[in-house]
Amino acid sequence: MTASPLIALVNGRVLGDHGPREGLAVLVRGKRIVAVVAQDDPRVGDAQRHDLHGHLLLPGFIDVQVNGGGGLLFNDAPTVETLRSIAQAHRKYGTTGMLPTLITDTAEQMHAALKAVDDAIEQRVPGILGIHVEGPFLANARKGIHNAALFRHPDESDVEALIAPHRGPVMLTLAPDEVSPQVIARLSAAGVIVVAGHTAADYATTRAALDAGVCGFTHLYNAMTPLANRDPGVVGAALDDPHSWCGLIVDGHHVHPATLRVAIAAKARGKCVLVTDAMPPVGSDRPDYVLNGQTIVMRDGICQNEAGVLAGSGLDMAGAVRNTVHMLGLPLAEASRMASAYPAAWIGLDRTHGRIAAGYNADFAVMDDTLTVRETWIGGIAHTAV
């Protein structure tokens, strides 16, 4: 077998742990980063050079909550073909890894979704890392756009399906007030990434769920009990707990920027993760889609039904990074980590994903000074974004 050529990414600003640096080259062979070296390193001269034209080179973005894209909703057709198209739609926004997300549905659809993601990973569909199952074990009082008629408590077949061996991480959003600590503990012990969301739980119930194995919170602030002076609620438990992760939708619509800054200040560094909660309009010219029999329309980046209920978002990961810099005032290096290194750690892939360093996957987002993606690399293969 012929060895893969050595490729040198040159003439860029490499975003490392301490911000962008010039004068570096990233050496890639096959799917992996070989080394990050000075541009005058002899190995650069022996490699195929890829000119970054002065752009920023960031670790590829990892989105743990993607409902759809490219005009497609994962729920509508949980197949490898759907996953391939959704991943392709998000690729031009720098997303190199995702957890396709199944919104509350039947047991049959959940099983089909789990199989589709396993098959996609086996077939090496670029960008598919695992699955996020959001529901149906949720609370009616905080249902959001989910179909409450499909809500239920997990039975043995549900648990067995989730804890069975899978080819990638399995994240499950559930309501701690609807699922017992014993079931949470069993799921967590088997490797399921259990997170809380769409829940009317109080602080004590949420704290018990954290002790049982809940490790994070789906779209913090949205669809959960708020923080109050004598009733901390789910939000209070999330901000008080030093170990859990919090997904943040930074689109200017789901949560006020000041409220997001409070969460980032309260949580330990590395525990706030950018997510999109993206719906079919992302990467598509069509602004409308159907969810649970309701027509949802995206206007000005906001996805809503006729009653004004938010139904996911029209956000992409490049937009989330830009908003984190310009709307929240965070440095680009930290916004980048919130979109790459931190989600990789949340789903247990931080030894291979989320950094530009030797041994890591050659997954990159190449961005210009407006933080628009110009190229996306997945597994050492470049894809032009614009």
Instruction: Return the active site residues.
Output: 277
Q: Which residues contact 45 (CB under 8 A, 6 or more apart)?
A: none
Distance CA 56, CA 21 (A): 9
Q: Which residues contact 276 (CB under 8 A, 6 or more apart)?
A: 63, 65, 66, 249, 282, 313, 315, 316, 317, 320
Helix crossing, 80-91 with 107-122: angle to 10°? 70
Residue 81 counted as an annotated binding residue: no
Residue 90 counted as an annotated binding residue: no
Residue 222 counted as an annotated binding residue: yes
Beta pairing, strands 245-248 & 294-299: unpaired
Residue 312 counted as an annotated binding residue: yes
Work out the burial of residue 359: count CB atoms within 10 Å of its CB; fewer than 13 is exposed, 13-18 middle, 19 or more buried.
exposed
Residue 145 counted as an annotated binding residue: yes
Residue 249 counted as an annotated binding residue: no
Residue 13 counted as an annotated binding residue: no
Residue 60 counted as an annotated binding residue: no
Residue 219 counted as an annotated binding residue: yes
Helix, strand, coil abundance in the chain, percent, nearest 5: 30, 30, 45
Q: 288: part of which helix (H) or strand (E)?
A: strand 288-291
Binding residues: 134, 145, 198, 219, 222-223, 230, 254, 310-312
Q: Which residues are annotated as a binding site for Zn(2+)?
A: 134, 198, 219
**Binding-site residue positions for substrate:** 145, 222-223, 230, 254, 310-312
